[in-house]
Amino acid sequence: MKHRIPVTVAALAAATILMTAPAFAQGGAGVKGSANAAWKAPRGADGHADLSGTWTNATSVPVERPKELGAKEFYTPEEMAANAKKAADRAAAQAAQAEGGDLAVHYDTNQFSLTGASQKRAPSMRTSLITGPEGRVPPLLPAAQKRQAARPRSTFDSYETRPLAERCYFWPNEGPPMMPVGYNSNLQIIQGPGFVAIEQEMIHDVRIIPTDGRPHLPSNIRQWFGDARGHWEGDTLVVETTNFTDRNPFRGSSDQMKVVEKFTRSSPDSVVYEFTVTDPATWEKSWSAEIQMSKIDGGLYEYACHEGNYGMANILSGARADEAAAAAKK
């Protein structure tokens, strides 16, 4: 069951993801720092630009640019308006369809912020989160393709062949890079002397980022979230993460991946989050993306994924019951 819900939710979220209403014409949102060039970020207690607060990285922008848009990196205001209308129509149709459907059995989608309208999204005129003329993840190198093909396929044979998110190891929103997902896109940033901490509501993991110039962990120590080191470049927090495992590939990456993230407060209400991924064992060149984070009210709630993972036992015992039933038929 548990594995099915997120899939359904993701489908709904993907379908409604373009449903954003804000006025996009308010001057080049989606271009870093363009909202107000003279604006100076407030200082945190540590004297650096203040990134602290509760944020959402929910977005209506797809990760990769639709192929038909070619090298077009930004929509015009007119195109944005047309897209918003199309998305609203689609969402209304979707909502009508969802009524009494699969998802409605499990969730009140409005209550849990699963509908586009109930989730705050930063306005952006970007055609894709990935920046540059391609706007897409570069093709995997042959060795990386081979590596991907050799990974065990998802089956119901054992917990070992279930996806890592379903096993409550981590979710893709936790990163790095911290990718927007269909829902629960909430995170909190705290700045203390020498450290920045980023808590992701889903599934409660915290990235603790030292900014005191210390070296990375020895290369033989590998972690799910890698090993993060930060420093300030002016008002931008720059975080470099290495020491990944080879067990949680990000879009086909290897354990050689390096992620460089930049956090820049761009207005009272927003942080621009940029990242660059480099992995010579996977891609011919680095690629980058930019995501707007919006300030939201309140703190985070506890997301006790593993503790509530009744789904895992149910999925596996369901599969065993199916097998027993099939064997009985023979």
What residues make contact with other proteins under the rule CB under 8 A? 44-47, 52, 156-160, 167-170, 188, 190-197, 199, 204-206, 208, 210, 214-215, 217, 221, 223-225, 298-302, 304, 306-307, 312-313, 316-317, 319-320, 323
Distance between terminal CA atoms of the chain?
Answer: 27
Q: Which is nearer to other proteins, 199 or 261 (CB)?
A: 199
**Sign of the four-CA dihedral 167, 172, 178, 182:** negative
Residue closer to other proteins, measured from CB, 121 or 207: 207
CB nearer to other proteins: give 170 or 263.
Answer: 170
**Which CB atom, from 211 or from 292, has the smaller least distance to other proteins?**
211
Please state the closest distance from residue 329 (CB atom) to other proteins, in A: 18
* DSSP 8-state class, residue 115: S
In this complex, which beta carbon is closest to other proteins, that of residue 11 or of residue 190?
A: 190
Q: How far apart are CA 159 and CA 154, in angstroms?
A: 10
**DSSP annotation string for 6-65:** HHHHHHHHHHHTT---S-TTTTTTTSTT-S-TT--PPB-TTSSB---EEEE---SS-SS-
Nearest distance, CB of residue 197 and other proteins, angstroms: 4
Q: In the complex, what is the shortest distance from the CB of residue 152 to other proteins, in angstroms, rounded to a whole number?
A: 14
Q: How far is the CB of 53 from other proteins (least distance, A)?
A: 9
Q: Please report how close the Cβ of residue 276 comes to other proteins at its closest, in angstroms.
A: 23
Q: Pick between residue 199 and residue 290 the one whose CB is nearest to other proteins.
A: 199
- Is-contact 318 310, C-beta < 8 A? no
Minimum distance between the CB of residue 157 and other proteins, rounded to whole angstroms?
4
Q: State how far the Cα of 5 lies from the Cα of 194, in Å rounded to an integer.
A: 40
Residues 137, 227: Cα–Cα separation, whole Å? 23
Can you read off the two tokens belonging to residue 23? Answer: 């006025």
